[in-house]
Amino acid sequence: MAVAIESTEYMSFDISENQKMITDMIRDFAEAEIKPNMMEWDEAQIFPVPLFRKMGDLGLMGVLVPEVYGGSGFGYAEYVTAISEIAKVDGSIGLSVAAHNSLCTGHILQFANEAQKQKYLPKLASGQWIGAWGLTEPNTGSDAGNMRTVAKQEGDYYIINGAKNFITHGKSGDVAVVIVRTGVVGDSHGMTAFIIEKGTPGFSAGKKENKLGMRASETAELIFTDCKVHKDQIIGEVGDGFVQSLKVLDGGRISIAALSLGIAQGAYEAALLYSKERHQFNKPISSFQGISFKLADMATKVEAARLLTFRAADLKNRGKSVNLESAMAKLYASEIAVEVANDAVQIFGGYGYTKDFPVEKFYRDAKLCTIGEGTSEIQKLVISRAVLK
Ligand X SMILES: Cc1cc2nc3c(=O)[nH]c(=O)nc-3n(C[C@H](O)[C@H](O)[C@H](O)COP(=O)(O)OP(=O)(O)OC[C@H]3O[C@@H](n4cnc5c(N)ncnc54)[C@H](O)[C@@H]3O)c2cc1C
* 195: amino acid identity, one letter: I
Identify the H or E element spanning 132.
strand 131-134
Interface pick for ligand X out of 166, 194, 274, 362 (rule CB under 6 A): 166
Determine contact, residues 180/140, Cβ cutoff 8 Å. no
| Contact string 96-135 vs ligand X (x = CB under 6 A) | ---x---x-----------------------------xxx
Residue number, nearest CB to ligand X? 141
Determine contact, residues 295/340, Cβ cutoff 8 Å. no
Nearer to ligand X, 41 or 166 (CB): 166
Q: Is 195 in the site for ligand X (CB under 6 A)?
A: no
- 167 DSSP β-pair partners: 220
Identify the H or E element spanning 245.
helix 241-277
Q: How far apart are CA 7 and CA 145, in angstroms?
A: 32
| Contact string 49-88 vs ligand X (x = CB under 6 A) | ----------------------------------------
Nearer to ligand X, 352 or 372 (CB): 372
Q: Is 373 in the site for ligand X (CB under 6 A)?
A: yes
373 is catalytic: yes
Q: Helix 289-317 to helix 323-348 angle, to the nearest 10 degrees?
A: 160
CA atoms within 13 A on the CB side of 180: 27
Q: Is 241 in the site for ligand X (CB under 6 A)?
A: no
Which stretch, 62-70, 188-196, 289-297, 369-377, contacts ligand X (CB under 6 A)?
369-377
Phi, psi of 191 (to 5 degrees): -135, 150
Catalytic residue among 67, 335, 373, 377: 373
Which stretch, 47-55, 62-70, 163-171, 340-348, contacts ligand X (CB under 6 A)?
163-171
Nearer to ligand X, 62 or 106 (CB): 106
Question: In 10 A of CB 4, how many CB atoms?
Answer: 9
What is the nearest approach in angstroms of ligand X to the Cβ of residue 92? 9
b/e 307-331 (16+ beta carbons within 10 angstroms → b): ebbbbbbbbbbeeeebbbbbbbbbb
What is the nearest approach in angstroms of ligand X to the Cβ of residue 291? 32
Please give the size of the binding site for ligand X, defined by CB under 6 A.
22
* 192: amino acid identity, one letter: T
Residue numbers annotated as active site: 373
Q: Given the rule CB under 6 A, which residues bind ligand X?
A: 99, 103, 133-136, 141-142, 166-168, 214, 219, 368, 371-375, 377-378, 381
